[in-house]
């Protein structure tokens, strides 16, 4: 038995690159087991797939957010970009643009918002908190202006393009029982992991976030590296926004409000430090899963959904407290 645990532990270590990730994984397991025991509806395939679908969009954004946080920066505008790119795309579709073109332009718009964030932050030295706070409002305003505050629907009645069902499939369809949305999340997670752990760009994000001066002295152009991170999170926010409208068939000016804080929360629960210089993509995925399972479990247990925010908030503080506490006890 003990031998078995030891070998499975070492196998776990092969999957995770740090003790921290193992700790977060076990925290997730504990929550998972708790809800499985407490509710007969929790541990069944349909519900679990449902949870996975619910967190997919948040997860896609959180992967990008983690990269920005690794750079030692923050992005508050992702929720607005998520909403605005969907509205822009929907309006373009309704005005007769081919769907594929509207789709590409929607992604480009999100990337452009991210690029503007990055350029402003790095070249004008205005703090990211301020630039992206401003951008959050500017982009939100764009959504409200374009939609005039009304709900924008895409359906065969409003969009005259035979490929509309293909677009809606991205949000509503399933492949082998798994929602397409989840496949996008999985692909994003793998892509982000690869970028962060295996490429020069990811490595440089870590370097820039760890010590800006040392990075500069090592010949690293931190402006380019940070701008790339903001562009990536802008792109991913737009992608999530487009999947959302494909899922719901509609979008409104306020769509995505609060998304930025949930994304940051998932990254932090996952064990990434806001100070920059270190982050974990696997941890972020688990952080997203924890948030999804908590939200789902709370509802299944019949607890008032009003408690959700309170509980998630407490989990954020607890996660960071545990991390600080274990690091301290590890040192002495």
Report the residue number, 224 or 314, with the smaller CB distance to another protein.
224
Region binding another protein by CB under 8 A among candidate stretches 92-100, 105-113, 213-221, 297-305: 213-221
Residue choice 206, 229, 232, 271 for contact with another protein (CB under 8 A): 206
Residue choice 48, 210, 249, 261 for contact with another protein (CB under 8 A): 210
Report the residue number, 150 or 213, with the smaller CB distance to another protein.
213
* Least distance CB 171 / another protein (angstroms): 30
Residue 199 binds another protein (CB under 8 A): yes
How many whole angstroms separate alpha carbon 116 and alpha carbon 232? 12
Region binding another protein by CB under 8 A among candidate stretches 20-28, 85-93, 175-183, 200-208: 200-208
Span 274-293, contacts to another protein by CB under 8 A: 277-278
Residue 332 binds another protein (CB under 8 A): yes
Q: How far is CA 328 from CA 95, 317, 324, 325, in A?
A: 59, 16, 6, 5
Region binding another protein by CB under 8 A among candidate stretches 30-38, 106-114, 151-159, 196-204: 196-204
Residue choice 16, 32, 169, 203 for contact with another protein (CB under 8 A): 203
Q: How far is CA 14 from CA 1, 195, 313, in A?
A: 20, 19, 31
Binding mask 220-249 for another protein (x = CB under 8 A): xx----------------------------
Q: How far is CA 192 from CA 188, 242, 250, in A?
A: 6, 19, 29
Nearest alpha carbon to residue 286 among 39, 22, 67: 22
* Least distance CB 206 / another protein (angstroms): 7
DSSP character string of 27-88: HHHHHHHHHHHH-TTTSSHHHHHHHHHHHHHHHHHHHHHHHHHHTT---S-HHHHHHHHHHH
Report the residue number, 53 or 204, with the smaller CB distance to another protein.
204
Residue 326 binds another protein (CB under 8 A): no
Buried/exposed code over 4-31 (b: 16+ C-beta within 10 A; e: otherwise): eeeeeeeeeeeebeeebbbbbbebbeeb
How many whole angstroms separate alpha carbon 275 and alpha carbon 280? 13
**Residues contacting 313, CB < 8 A, separation 6+:** none
How many whole angstroms separate alpha carbon 89 and alpha carbon 103? 6
Residue choice 34, 105, 216, 320 for contact with another protein (CB under 8 A): 216
Region binding another protein by CB under 8 A among candidate stretches 19-27, 160-168, 202-210, 262-270: 202-210
Number of residues binding to another protein, judged by CB under 8 A: 21
* Least distance CB 331 / another protein (angstroms): 8
Report the residue number, 189 or 220, with the smaller CB distance to another protein.
220
Tokens, residue 50: 């449902």
Residues in contact with another protein by the rule CB under 8 A: 198-201, 203, 206-207, 210-211, 213-221, 277-278, 332
């Amino acid at each position: 038995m003990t031998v078995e645990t030891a070998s499975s532990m070492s196998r776990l270590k092969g999957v995770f690159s740090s003790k921290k990730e193992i700790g977060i994984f076990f925290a997730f397991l504990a929550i998972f087991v708790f809800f499985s025991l407490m509710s007969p509806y929790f541990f069944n395939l349909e519900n679990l797939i449902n949870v996975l679908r619910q967190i997919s969009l948040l997860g896609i954004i959180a992967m990008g957010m983690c990269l920005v946080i690794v750079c030692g920066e923050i992005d508050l505008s992702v929720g607005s970009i998520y909403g605005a790119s969907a509205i822009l795309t929907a309006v373009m579709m309704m005005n007769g643009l081919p769907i594929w073109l509207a789709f590409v332009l929607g992604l480009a718009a999100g990337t452009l918002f991210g690029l503007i964030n990055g350029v402003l932050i790095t070249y004008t030295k205005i703090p990211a908190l301020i630039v992206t706070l401003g951008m959050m409002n500017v982009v939100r305003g764009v959504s409200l202006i374009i939609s005039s505050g009304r709900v924008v629907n895409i359906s065969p009645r409003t969009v005259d393009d035979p490929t509309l069902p293909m677009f809606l499939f991205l949000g509503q369809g399933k492949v082998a029982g798994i929602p397409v949305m989840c496949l996008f999340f999985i692909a994003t997670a793998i892509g982000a992991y690869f970028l962060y752990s295996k490429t020069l760009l990811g490595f440089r994000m870590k370097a820039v976030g760890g010590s800006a001066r040392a990075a500069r002295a090592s010949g690293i152009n931190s402006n380019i590296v940070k701008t790339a991170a903001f562009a990536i999170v802008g792109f991913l926010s737009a992608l999530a926004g487009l999947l959302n409208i494909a899922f719901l068939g509609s979008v409104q000016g306020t769509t995505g409000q609060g998304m930025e804080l949930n994304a940051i929360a998932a990254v932090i629960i996952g064990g990434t430090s806001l100070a920059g210089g270190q982050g974990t993509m696997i941890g972020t995925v688990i952080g997203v899963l924890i948030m999804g399972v908590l939200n789902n479990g709370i509802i299944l247990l019949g607890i008032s959904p009003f408690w959700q925010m309170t509980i998630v908030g407490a989990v954020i503080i607890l996660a960071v407290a545990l991390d600080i506490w274990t690091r301290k006890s590890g040192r002495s």
